[in-house]
Amino acid sequence: MSENAIEIYGLTKRYGDLFAVRDLNLKIPHGSVYGLIGPNGAGKTTTLSVLASLLEPTAGRVLVGGFDPSRDAQGVRRKVGYMPDVMGLYENMRVNEYLQFFAAAYRIPAKEWPALIGGLLELVDLTDKGDAFVDGLSRGMKQRLSLARALAHDPEILLLDEPASGLDPHARIELRGLVQELASMGKTVVISSHILPELEEMCTEVAIMEAGALLASGPPKEIGVGTGQTRSVKVRLWGGSEKTFEVADEIEQRDLVRRLVVDEELPVIEVTTIEENLEDLFLRVTKGQRQ
Amino acid sequence: MSGFRRPLNPVLARELRVRMRGRQAAVVLTLYLTILSLFLYLTYRSVTDIAALSGISSVASSASAGRNVFQWLLVVMLALVCFIVPGLTGGAITGERERQTLIPLQVTLMKPLSILLGKLGASVAFTLFLVVAALPLIGVAFVLGGVSVGEVIAGTAIVLFIALVLAVFSLGWSSVFRRSQLATVTSYAITLFLVLGTPLIYASQRIASSSYQGSGHTSKAIMVLNPFVLTADVAGGQTGSSSAPLNGLRSFVHPNSYSVGSSLVRSNGTTFTRSNPVRIPQPYEGFPFWVRSVIVFLGLCGTTLAVATYRLRTPAPKER
Ligand SMILES: Nc1ncnc2c1ncn2[C@@H]1O[C@H](COP(=O)(O)OP(=O)(O)OP(=O)(O)O)[C@@H](O)[C@H]1O
Ligand SMILES: [Mg+2]
């Protein structure tokens, strides 16, 4: 088998006149955390759906874990855990029952369920929620339950479509930790987002897409993503005044907030990170290519 | 307990667990049993009243009451099944699509047909539950007499079969359409067509043909699609009693077996209980009516399941 977990050759998906993905070529190495970045409509979900054996491409060929989803979908499904961009959970079940259902759907023998589910819940930090009903979980918890579901059959490859959407900053940091843990377990993780800072810190490689086409791909530093980038943090104080600071990363941001709240005793009521504008990024990336 | 036992279909197991927990099941069961009991009481009353008026011996009237009660129960059970099954099944697949739970299921190792069979099993299991719950009421009819064990078994079996057929049709619409509402309405429309549309078509054919010739013979082929006629042919008695609903329907399929207008005859104290039907052996017509009906239904079910499986296949040209 090749050293790549996923290989995409000339992938094209057309809806009528619209190219959702146009001639995409990518190789995703084993054990990498691979980011698919692009604005709305870039073709991220379409690409992941093809990889997850849900969508038949118009042209091109993909290999996922060595299998072609068009020919051997079952082979792909054994190796892939997929978390869609929408959170489809059965609300009227308990968390344990929900995971049992998917364990059964992945044909895992019932006697292995308790250990499996215990392990999954621990991994996604839902251990004490096993008996809770799904509809009572917070959005972040539901997201983690979706991830646990995608991991039920211990897949080598994980496809996560916008897993951080709708999560608060704290939950995003948790998610990042989780992805890193999965990577340390040797899994290949493909993760999509339209927010760059979310990915640049955890991805070993990224691909930047727009309107179905690949703009650039490679390790973030190499393609000029995240080099010398600062992030803006907007701090709102009680009484309505706002201040904007520039920080380098997460840790500096934490130090900043500690300084304001603890040392200067300012009445901070809100801290927002201003995400980098994708337009700027694309300009930079495409310029970088032309040079 | 054997380690080699095949595990229950996961979709079926999930549906059973969630459905039985919901309040909906209890409500449907209560309503269903209430309606059936009401009919049991009404039929029993009306039959015994007629018997008392006509001064028929008590054994004979009890047998007649038993037959009437049994057949009315079957008819009402069937009507309720026609009412419940499309509503229960029409949203089976569309509901998963709407809640966005279908995709996670499709990327597991479950094949489309297993998903469909799990949903189907859940609907049929619920109907089985309803039929079993009605058995004590049918027992009343059985105690009154005039009903054979064979008729009871055949009657409940055919009601279950029709439930299965309606469930397959509804499941088909559920996988064709995107919206539960549309799928459910269409499922009801199809059921309504089978129950009321088929006799209407038959009647209009008859009117059309009789206007051409004096005594036109109209094909009854369309009626193999009618659940009530099928039930009558399977579970209707051999002896004519037009007040027993299935006997009346059965005489429609086999007109030659019965004397016209056979019914309870007021016999002013004589021991005749009913007119003696004159049996004319039917000419050989190939398969019996109910066998033809079952074959047609099975064929339609097979086609529907094939289409539904095709609709759920992945990778698909379009997602969602
Ligand atoms: N079933 C479909 N029919 C028609 N067009 C579609 C269909 N699915 C996707 N598209 C189009 O394909 C393009 C790519 O969509 P896709 O969902 O892959 O983008 P995305 O990168 O995931 O965007 P987002 O960030 O909004 O999730 C869009 O222009 C979309 O309108
Ligand atoms: Mg998307």
pLDDT tens, residue by residue, A117-167: 999 999 999 999 999 999 999 999 999 999 999 999 999 999 999 998 888
Q: Ligand 1 center to residue A42 CA distance, Å?
A: 7
Least confident of A197-206, A214-223, B59-68, B266-275: B266-275
pTM, entire model: 0.83
Task: Determine the average pLDDT of the residues in A240-264.
Answer: 85
**Residues contacting B268, CB < 8 A, separation 6+:** B55
Q: Which of B108, B114, B119, B312 to mutate to test the interface with A (most CBs of A within 10 A)?
A: B108
pLDDT tens, residue by residue, B128-142: 988 888 888 888 888
- Using the CB atoms, write b or e for B161-170: b if 16+ within 10 Å: bbbbbbbbbb
Whether the per-residue pLDDT at B101 is higher than 80: the answer is yes
pLDDT value of residue A184: 94
Q: For all residues of chain A together, what is the average pLDDT?
A: 89
Whether the per-residue pLDDT at B298 is higher than 90: the answer is yes
pLDDT tens, residue by residue, A14-26: 999 999 999 999 9
Which one has a higher pLDDT value, B165 or B254?
Answer: B165
Report percent pLDDT > 90 for chain A.
Answer: 61
Whether the per-residue pLDDT at A94 is higher than 50: the answer is yes
Task: Determine the average pLDDT of the residues in B261-273.
Answer: 39
Q: How confident is the model at residue B269 (pLDDT cuts 50, 70, 90)?
A: very low
Q: Do B104 and A149 touch (CB under 8 A)?
A: yes
Q: For all residues of chain B together, what is the average pLDDT?
A: 82
Query: Which residue's CA lies nearest to atom 28 of ligand 1?
Result: A41
pLDDT value of residue A240: 83
Q: Ligand 1 center to residue A198 CA distance, Å?
A: 21
Report percent pLDDT > 70 for chain A.
Answer: 91
Q: How confident is the model at residue B57 (pLDDT cuts 50, 70, 90)?
A: low
ipTM of the complex in this document: 0.81
Q: Do B13 and A107 touch (CB under 8 A)?
A: no
For chain A, the three-class secondary structure string (H helix, E strand, C coil) is CCCEEEEEEEEEEEECCEEEEEEEEEEEECCCEEEEECCCCCCHHHHHHHHCCCECCCEEEEEECCECCCCCHHHHHHHEEEECCCCCCCCCCEHHHHHHHHHHHCCCCHHHHHHHHHHHHHHCCCHHHCCCEHHHCCHHHHHHHHHHHHCCCCCCEEEEECCCCCCCHHHHHHHHHHHHHHHHCCCEEEEEECCHHHHHCCCCEEEEEECCEEEEEECCCCCCCCCCCCEEEEEEECCCCEEEEEECCHHHHHHHHHHHHHHCCCCEEEEEEECCCHHHHHHHHHHHHHC
pLDDT value of residue B203: 87
Residues in chain A within 8 Å Cβ distance of B99? 88, 90-91
pLDDT value of residue B215: 52
Residues in chain A within 8 Å Cβ distance of B22? 92
Q: Nearest CA to CA, how far is A220 from chain B (Å)?
A: 31
Determine whether the shortest distance from the Cβ of B5 to ligand 1 is under 6 A: no
pLDDT tens, residue by residue, B17-50: 888 777 878 888 888 888 888 888 887 777 777 6
Q: Are B64 and B56 in contact (CB under 8 A)?
A: yes
Please report which ligand is nearest the Cα atom of A24.
1
